[in-house]
Structure 1
Amino acid sequence: MMGGGPAPHTMDFKGSGKRMLGQFRPERTTLYGMLAAVVGSVALSVAGPKILGDATDLVFAGIVGRQLPEGITKEQALEGLRAKGDSGIADMLSGTNFTPGQGIDFGAVGSVLLVALVIFLASGLLMLVATRLSNLTINRTVLRLREQVQTKLSRLPLSYFDRQKRGEVLSRATNDIDNIGQTLQQTMGQLINSLLTIIGVLVMMFWISPLLALVALVTVPLSAVVATRVGKRAQPQFVQQWKSTGKLNAHIEEMYTGHTLVKVFGRQEESAAAFREQNEELYQAGFKAQFISGSMQPLMMFISNLNYVLVAVVGGLRVASGTLSIGDVQAFIQYSRQFSMPLTQVASMANLVQSGVASAERIFELLDAEEQSPEPASPERPVASEGKVALEKVSFRYEPDKPLIEDLSLSVEPGQTVAIVGPTGAGKTTLVNLLMRFYEVSGGRILLDGADTARMSREELRSGIGMVLQDTWLFGGTIAENIAYGAPSEGAARSTSGKGGGGRRVGVTREQIEEAARAAHADHFVRALPDGYDTVIDDEGSGVSAGEKQLLTIARAFLSDPVILVLDEATSSVDTRTEVLIQKAMARLSHGRTSFVIAHRLSTIRDADVILVMENGSIVEQGSHETLLASGGAYARLYAAQFAQAVAEVD
């Protein structure tokens, strides 16, 4: 209910990692191209040290040959050294291809270095291509992941958002996806390159000297043990880090949204204390995660240096025995570094990978949340859009063991205005939510013009219903765009105004927008604003009062031209004079339309055709205003209590 992070059983690193990799399936072709470029780049870069080793051998052979007398063979020169008692030097030079009396062949050395230069340039160009393709693949994958989250949010039932904190949901849709994108950008290409480099270097090392290759591999099991131990300790901390991030964002969002009330009731200290507590929790989780995972790189560097020492010692002994040339040992030491560096890079990327997988788990938890019931394969459609509504033995409960509405039956004729009154928690808004299919009924059915709403598509059902809520909602944009948001969409098309959450609907004229504003009595205050209908407001509606925001949402309902009109305490934020004007406008709007009006101020629904009095999820009375007053029942008691309260306030 508090909408926290993933439960302990979601800490499935392997499963979440595989599922994350599955997101790349649509990019297979680009991935193959990237892999081909990486393989080519790694193959060329791995060949580089061997070629440079050949250049070293040419230089060394020239130095040695220049110091020996001309006209003798290599074998004769080595025999001469042994005859002088320099057998160790002779053994070492036996692995060198020199010619006595001949110095350094700079032409050959230059040719070898030119080949090395071309190879390194080609390797760099291929890596540039691979990086470009990697970025393209990652950005497309993250784009699709964002689209999946957005699509999922639109398919989630209202009950999901009732159980989750808004800041927590926003954190998953923003922070966690951003973290996944950054993790992939920083690790995917480098990880593939490191793994291929390890394979390529191993091949070259065994080719040069199987013995030295085995020596270099001695430290690999130690590296694997270190990486595994550190990774297992760091992963739970990364999960906790992103869980704490979601909780902190939820708290900040709540405190920012309700900052006025926080100040009014003097709760700044309590809010700040809660922030400090959750911020400290995030700090501790982040510090532990980074400290534990950060210890991997120095440990791997120590193992790498140990490997370097072993290779240098054994390689030196092999050169001294004449088994290997100096160039081969030089190349092998470079390969040893090339082998250790990717291992260290892979280990150091572990913290990024674990952080990304922890975010992926939270995203997948959202994507796996239970969706609203699927649309019927062959949806029903009303024969005619008249606005006739019938509830047949409808039952509903938020919790399985707590009944709210039981066996509720109601018939509303087209064009009737139905007022729903009753104490708080009686089920008034729930009844409207069931009509809109924000929630599904537990039993019975609701009919709209003879069609079962459960078998209609939600889009068609809601397209014929206009709704004005007590809580207003505006998006960042002009006032004209906010009113135009209620216009019937033409294929859900909108102009790209670039002003936030909406835009003017296609086919809606300024005259229609202004006519709707006049009908809702919003035209006067809109024209008094600096830019009139082109005045830009933010999503908080800054610059307009609460009552004016309500008038804009009512104008939006006018423009939607619905078959059924739902007003959930829609005039609660306007003054008495404006309320009377809106009631007259609503009377015009309601003419020929079925209207459901939820109201606490009973004076606003005297002219309703039918008044339903609800208590504990049941309709206890129904009838006209005069009939219910005359009966002296629940409605009469509510009316009398409200009238007495009004007199007391005047006194």
Structure 2
Amino acid sequence: MIKHLKPYLTKYRLPSILAPITVIAEVLLEIQIPFLMAKIVDQGITTRDLSYVFQIGAIMVLVALCSLLFGVLSGRFAAKGAMGFGSEIRKAVFDKIQEFSFANIDRFSTPSLVTRLTTDITNTQMAYMMVIRVLVRAPVMLVSATIMAAAINGDLVRVFLIVIPILAIALATMSTLAFPRFNAMLKKYDGLNAQVQENLIAIRVVKAFVRARYEKKKFAEANDSLMRASLAAEKIIILGMPIMMLTMYATIIAILWFGGNMIIGGTLLTGELISFISYVTQILMSLMMIAQVFIMIVLSRSSVARIVEVLEEPISITDETASPSLTAEDGSIEYRNVSFKYQEDAAENILTGINFSIASGETVGIIGGTGSAKTTLVQLIPRLYDVTDGQVLVGGHDVRDYTLDHLRSVVAMVLQKNVLFSGTIKDNLKWGDENATDEEVIAAAKAACAHDFIMSFPEGYDTYLGQGGVNVSGGQKQRLCIARALLKKPKIIILDDSTSAVDTATDSAIREGFRQNLKDTTAIIIAQRISSVSDADKIIVLDEGRIDAIDTHENLLENNAIYREVFHSQQKGVEE
């Protein structure tokens, strides 16, 4: 898994190299301090040579200051390398998500992707920082301090060498047990994020239906589930510190016992014992650092796997078969024996045997009951999904022959769920054409019957919209999304039930604006209201993923039972 993240280190390779180099310098200077301290005790204080004490003391202070300097530099380099590494991974994951087709997005939930972009990448960059700093410092300190301790007294070294294998076995066991538990914990984070996201998006509905108590209960359950998963993982890891401390103090007690006897026997000096204990403390602290790094690596191992899963996700819709020079000459559309299902192993198709053609510039309506696959049908045109069987042609060519950028530039789609972004109304409209002039923006807004209500705001087109367009109504949001699509000046425009929140008079005015401004543009209108499609050149009636009929409004009223039933039910509703 790690090899998949190596390319994101390239930009921050220098600080990643300098961090361990400065750490090594810091350690090599730091291990001189106990050695110098032993000289002060055994040679300076014992002989009462104050000049020698001051001389060695000055050297000790200088060494400590240099060690401190290298420590600061190592921290800075490690932070820059790790934060930069995390930043590059985050950009790579976000860029990959932007390439996802709808089929790819369906495999990952939005909260899960948010967790991977935040918590998982944070865990990974923190683990990397510990690797290039702590995991260098601890082994170098361990080896260096052991050599210095052995130089003082080789017999005493055997005391702590006995405990190292015991600690290694304990750490390995904890890591093995903790990994699956941390993996489960991260999945609980996904669930908690899903709960929070859903609640915040639908907060108005929650308040309208007085469901705050219910939502609090759901959140509490998700939060408690995360807490239990965290405790299950942490209760394994927290054993590491008591084991380390017990080992450390037991070792120091043993060294004091044996070392004290050696001083009494005249084979060891007092300063040497003090220095030896300092080295043993450094050795055992190094082991504790290694334990902490292993804990972080165990946690980040799950996070790295989840990040790599996104980065390695094969994109289901690509430009591999496309011709970069091919352009759509017009807005004609043809479906040739098209079938579609969301998963390859699904038992049944969502769409089956779809055949029809639309001439460039025609207006076509699509009517059908809930679940009849109206939205799925039109999503095949801009390749939000790819057909399972058959062909979809635009401008006389298979949509797979166009590059995605070109195909989606000639097809404007106003989705069933209208989405606006934080920023001004003008900023949102210019998603259709970032280079559009103010006159073009206003013309598109007028065609979508949005200009009047925009000008009713004190700031007009510079009115700031909150996230998701929370400060405009549903109907206003729909009209802004339609204006945004019109500004794109597409060859094909698809309205997926995009006038459901406006009144019939406004709906009629929008359709009139289409007739005047989109004479050469193919328009596909999915609607629940017959009145929204009655003046279309032809209307497609869908029933359970199959075409039941294609004809004009008048002929369908006369010959198609489904269409006639919908029409009469709506007329009855109007009369009542």
TM norm structure 2: 0.93
Mean CA deviation greater in 21-30 or 197-206: 21-30
Instruction: Choose from 623, 634, 640 the match for 2:562.
Output: 634
Runs of 4+ in 1 over 6 A off after TM superposition: none
Indicate which of 85, 91, 113 corresponds to 1:141. Answer: 85
Structure 1 Cα separation of the partners of residues 125 and 24 of structure 2: 24
- Equivalent in the alignment of 2:396: 450
Q: Would you say 1:564 and 2:482 are equivalent positions?
A: no
How far apart are 1:264 and its partner, in Å?
4.2
The equivalent residue for 2:41 is 56
- Counterpart of 1:594 in structure 2: which amino acid? T
**One of 455, 463, 472 as aligned partner of 2:418:** 472
Q: Does 1:418 align with 2:403?
A: no
SS at match of 2:365: strand
Write the letter of the residue equivalent to 2:241. Answer: Q
CA deviation digits over 1:589-610, x for unaligned, max 9?
3211111111111111122112
Q: 2:245 aligns to what SS in structure 1?
A: helix
Provide structure 1 residue ranges, at least 5 long, that are not aligned to the other structure: 1-15, 63-103, 488-504
C-alpha distance after superposition, 1:527-551 (max 9, x if no partner): 1112221111111322211111111
Matched residues in 2 for 1:310 and 1:455: separation?
77
Q: Is the 8 A contact 1:381 1:451 kept in 2?
A: no
Cα separation, partners in 2 of 1:382 and 1:593, compared to 1, 3 Å? farther
**Matched-pair contact (CA < 8 Å) for 2:336–2:390:** yes
CA contact (8 A) 1:382 1:450 kept: no
**Distance verdict in 2 for CA 1:343–1:19, change over 3 Å:** farther
Say whether residues 1:112 and 2:40 are aligned partners. Answer: no
Distance (Å, rounded) in 1 between the aligned partners of 2:16 and 2:471: 51
Distance 1:337 1:167 in 2: 45
Give the counterpart letter for 1:529 in structure 2. F
Q: Return the letter of the residue paired with 1:609.
A: D
**Aligned-partner SS, 1:415:** coil
- Shift of the 21–622 alpha-carbon distance from structure 1 to 2, 3 Å rule, reads closer
Among candidates 281, 288, 300, match of residue 337 of structure 1: 281
Q: 1:130 aligns with which of 74, 78, 81?
A: 74
- 8 Å CA contact 1:17–1:357 kept in 2: the answer is no
- CA distance in structure 1 between the aligned counterparts of 2:3 and 2:281, rounded to whole angstroms: 31
Q: Give SS of 1:341's match.
A: helix
Matches within 5 A, 1:366-377: 366-376=310-320
1:146/1:572 CA distance change after superposition, 3 Å: same
1:289 matched to which residue of 2? 233
Task: Specify the code of the residue in structure 1 equivalent to 2:373.
Answer: G
SS at match of 1:435: coil
DSSP-derived class of the 1:237 partner? helix
> Do the aligned residues in 2 keep the contact of 1:417 with 1:590 (CA within 8 Å)?
no
Per the alignment, residue 245 of structure 1 pairs with 189
> Counterpart of 1:228 in structure 2: which amino acid?
A
Measure the CA separation in 2 of the matches of 1:239 and 1:538.
36
- Show the counterpart of 2:215: 271
Distance verdict in 2 for CA 1:21–1:235, change over 3 Å: farther
Find the counterpart in structure 2 of residue 404 from structure 1: 350
Q: Is 413-422 or 620-629 further displaced after alignment? A: 620-629
Which residue does 1:229 correspond to in 2? 173
Q: What is the identity, as a one-letter code, of the residue corresponding to 2:533?
A: I
Amino acid at match of 2:36: I
Deviations along 1:440-488, one digit per CA (max 9) or x if unpaired, are: 111111222122211321111101111112311111111111111111x
1:512 pairs with 2:456 = no
Q: Matches of 1:198 and 1:608 in 2, distance apart?
A: 81
User: Does the aligned pair in 1 maintain the 2:99–2:315 contact within 8 Å?
Assistant: yes
Paired amino acid for 1:473:
V
Q: In structure 2, do the counterparts of structure 1 residues 383 and 110 end up closer, same or farther at CA, with 3 Å as the change threshold?
A: closer
Please give the alpha-carbon distance, in whole angstroms, between the structure 2 residues aligned to 1:233 and 1:632: 65
Aligned equivalents of 1:378, 1:466: Cα separation in 2: 20
Q: Shift of residue 561 of structure 1?
A: 0.8
Correspondent of 1:355 among 296, 299, 319: 299
Q: 1:383 to 1:276 in 2, by over 3 A?
A: closer
Alignment of 1:37-56 (within 5 A): 37-56=22-41
Partner of 1:618: 546
For the aligned residue pairs, the C-alpha RMSD in angstroms reads 2.3
Asked if 1 retains the 8 angstrom alpha-carbon contact of 2:338 and 2:387, the reply is yes
What per-residue deviation string (whole Å, max 9, x for no partner) do you get for residues 27-72 of structure 1?
A: 433322222111111111112211221222212441xxxxxxxxxx
- Contact 2:82/2:126 (8 A) holds in 1: no
Structure-2 separation of matches of 1:535 and 1:378? 41
Report how far residue 305 of structure 1 moved.
0.7
User: Given residue 468 of structure 2, which amino acid in structure 1 is its aligned partner?
Assistant: E
Contact 1:167 / 1:254 at 8 angstroms: preserved in 2?
Answer: no
- Aligned twin of 2:466: 538
Q: Which has the larger radius of gyration?
A: 1
Q: Using the alignment, how far apart are the partners of 2:469 and 2:509 within structure 1?
A: 23
User: CA distance change for structure 1 residues 17 and 326 in 2, over 3 Å: closer, same or farther?
Assistant: farther
**Are positions 1:461 and 2:407 aligned together?**
yes
Q: 1:552 aligns with which of 480, 499, 503?
A: 480
C-alpha distance in structure 2 between counterparts of 1:303 and 1:150, whole Å: 45
Shift of 1:25: 5.5
TM-score (structure 1 length as normaliser): 0.83
Conserved 8 A contact 1:565-1:590: no
Residues 373 and 537 of structure 1: is their aligned pair in 2 closer, same or farther, counting only changes over 3 Å? closer
Contact (CA 8 Å) 2:8, 2:85: kept in 1 or not?
A: yes
Change (3 A) 1:122 1:508: same
Q: Is the 8 A contact 1:380 1:456 kept in 2?
A: yes
Q: Identify the match of residue 29 of structure 1 among 14, 33, 37.
A: 14
Q: Given that residues 536 and 552 in structure 2 are in contact (C-alpha distance below 8 angstroms), is that contact kept between their aligned partners in structure 1?
A: yes
- CA–CA distance in structure 2, aligned partners of residues 26 and 633 of structure 1: 66
% identity of equivalent residues: 29
Cα shift at 1:572? 0.6
Is 1:293–1:348's contact at 8 Å kept on the other side of the alignment? Answer: no
Deviation at 1:142, TM superposition (A): 0.5
Are residue 578 (structure 1) and residue 527 (structure 2) matched?
no
